[in-house]
Amino acid sequence: MSRVYNFSAGPAVLPEEVLREAADEMLDYRGTGMSVMEMSHRSKAFAGIIEEAEADIRELMQIPDNYKVLFLQGGASQQFAMIPMNLMKNRVADYIVTGQWAKKAYQEAQKYGKVNKIASSEDKTFSYIPDCSDLPVSPDADYVYICENNTIYGTKFKTLPNTKGKTLVADVSSCFLSEPVDVTKYGVIYGGVQKNIGPAGVVIVIIREDLITDDVLPGTPTMLKYKTHADAGSLYNTPPAYGIYICGKVFKWLKAQGGLAAMKERNEKKAALLYDFLDQSRLFKGTVRKEDRSLMNVPFVTGDEELDAKFVAEAKKAGLENLKGHRTVGGMRASIYNAMPYEGVQALVDFMAQFEKENL
Ligand code: PMP
């Protein structure tokens, strides 16, 4: 068996220990005689899995009791519609557009009400986070929406926007559980798990209880009401059971690593290794304003498309996979999520240094 260093933006690298444990339990989950894939979501064994997963993410993120944790499906993209359908009481919402995913959410919300783009960084290819300390927040806005870490562009909000008292809704798909977070600052925190937590197919929504109501937009499908899932403990219908099981294992792994404060420290070390290399390189350069750099997604370019392609191809031969940048940006992108070991980033930096020597 040979595993590569996988820098994919998602689905992405998972902790090897988790994969091994899942492999060990594949045919017989703890004496049940069946795989978690084969068991009823109403079984006692699965109740244990989902309850423990919820308890563990609550502990990791210190989620207060007045927030629900929902395990849903439909990808992060489904939330682009669920959020307005459930939260737009006044049919007004403010969006901060810092990348393609925020833009998609902004466009989807327009189906449901008056949607204001109160800030954007599109003028410079989303390479920075706009100043959000004093934005023209709409007096009747039902919420202010951000994408906290921009997977494609590699930017991250280092301070949350001043929402002037309005509910903050954040897509944290690509920075979920990468550092400690003050949940009380948000009304809704959500993300697809396929980057930092588990296999594609699960979306985790952490939502303040007062935002979960029957007062949703007319025509909202039962499955797209937060209340449906909150009332049923995420078991209204068959949940993505195997995915939740893997998420649960990753929560345990995170706890064993020392929790989110320890992860932040590790992630900062890994990111610094790569950013410091980029800052002194004569061939490669980062594409993001320094103060807005993500700890998770690191885009960089040589400035020469052919050389970029050569780098990606040669890196692959050296066991460094999925370094091609997003098709809308070009160049390279290294996603260095929680499960990417320091040694993986070191191997990348060593390879870049060697490539620079040979190609400059
Ligand atoms: N938001 C962010 C920040 C993302 O990076 C992605 C996807 N990769 C999405 C939303 C869309 O997620 P999904 O494919 O689960 O709908």
Query: Per the structure block, which two tokens stand in for 240?
Result: 């993505």
Written as one letter, the residue type at 298 is V
**DSSP assignment string, 16-79:** HHHHHHHHHTSSSSTTSSS-GGGS-TTSHHHHHHHHHHHHHHHHHHT--TTEEEEEE-SHHHHH
DSSP single-letter state for residue 304: -
88 vs 328, more confident: 88
Atom of ligand 1 nearest to the CA of 9: 8
Residue 10 placed within a domain: no
pLDDT of residue 312: 98
pLDDT of residue 233: 98
Which residue among the candidates 94, 101, 270, 324 is catalytic per the annotation? Answer: 101
Determine the Cα angle at 83 with ends 81 and 86, to 5°. Answer: 105
DSSP single-letter state for residue 134: S
Q: Which pTM value belongs to this model? A: 0.98
- Give yes or no: 171 in active site: yes
Q: Is the pLDDT of residue 248 over 90?
A: yes
Residue 1 placed within a domain: no
Q: How many CB atoms lie within 10 A of CB 229?
A: 25
- Tell me: do 20 and 64 sit in the same domain: yes
- Residue 43 pLDDT grade (very low, low, confident, very high; cuts 50, 70, 90): very high
pLDDT of residue 1: 76
d(CA 100, ligand 1 centre) in Å: 9
Mean of pLDDT over the chain: 98
Residue owning the nearest CA to atom 5 of ligand 1: 151
Residue 11 placed within a domain: no
Query: Across residues 78-89, what is the average pLDDT?
Result: 98
pLDDT of residue 280: 98
Range of the domain at 345: 258-359
**105 labelled as ligand-binding?**
no
Residue owning the nearest CA to atom 15 of ligand 1: 75
DSSP H helices in 72-222: 75-87, 100-109
| Candidate of 83, 101, 202 to mutate for ligand 1, largest count of ligand atoms within 8 Å of Cβ | 101
- Tell me: do 265 and 181 sit in the same domain: no
Residue 4 placed within a domain: no
pLDDT of residue 328: 81
- Tell me: do 21 and 82 sit in the same domain: yes
Query: Across residues 85-112, what is the average pLDDT?
Result: 98
* C-alpha to C-alpha distances, 167 to 40, 137, 160, 161, 207, nearest whole angstrom: 37, 11, 12, 11, 11
Query: Across residues 77-93, what is the average pLDDT?
Result: 98
Query: Across residues 54-61, what is the average pLDDT?
Result: 98
Residue 6 placed within a domain: no
- Tell me: do 252 and 266 sit in the same domain: no
Atom of ligand 1 nearest to the CA of 149: 3
Total domains present in the chain: 2
Which residue among the candidates 68, 156, 166, 195 is catalytic per the annotation? Answer: 195
Q: What is the pLDDT of residues 261-318, one digit of tens each?
A: 999 999 999 999 999 999 999 999 999 999 999 999 999 999 999 999 999 999 999 9
Q: What is the pLDDT of residues 209-220, one digit of tens each?
A: 999 999 999 999
pLDDT of residue 2: 87
Q: Is the pLDDT of residue 327 over 90?
A: no
| Candidate of 100, 150, 151, 247 to mutate for ligand 1, largest count of ligand atoms within 8 Å of Cβ | 151
Listed residues 256, 278, 313: the one ending a domain: 256
- Tell me: do 248 and 262 sit in the same domain: no
- Residue 141 pLDDT grade (very low, low, confident, very high; cuts 50, 70, 90): very high
Query: Across residues 138-156, what is the average pLDDT?
Result: 98
- Give yes or no: 101 in active site: yes
pLDDT of residue 329: 82
- Tell me: do 264 and 252 sit in the same domain: no
Question: For position 92, which CATH number holds?
Answer: 3.40.640.10
**194 labelled as ligand-binding?**
yes
Query: Across residues 82-109, what is the average pLDDT?
Result: 98
**Which bin fits 259, alpha (ψ -120 to 50), beta or left (φ > 0)?**
left
- Tell me: do 140 and 234 sit in the same domain: yes
Residue 217 placed within a domain: yes
- Residue 72 pLDDT grade (very low, low, confident, very high; cuts 50, 70, 90): very high
- Residue 6 pLDDT grade (very low, low, confident, very high; cuts 50, 70, 90): very high
pLDDT of residue 287: 95
- Tell me: do 251 and 264 sit in the same domain: no
ipTM for this prediction = 0.99
pLDDT of residue 265: 98
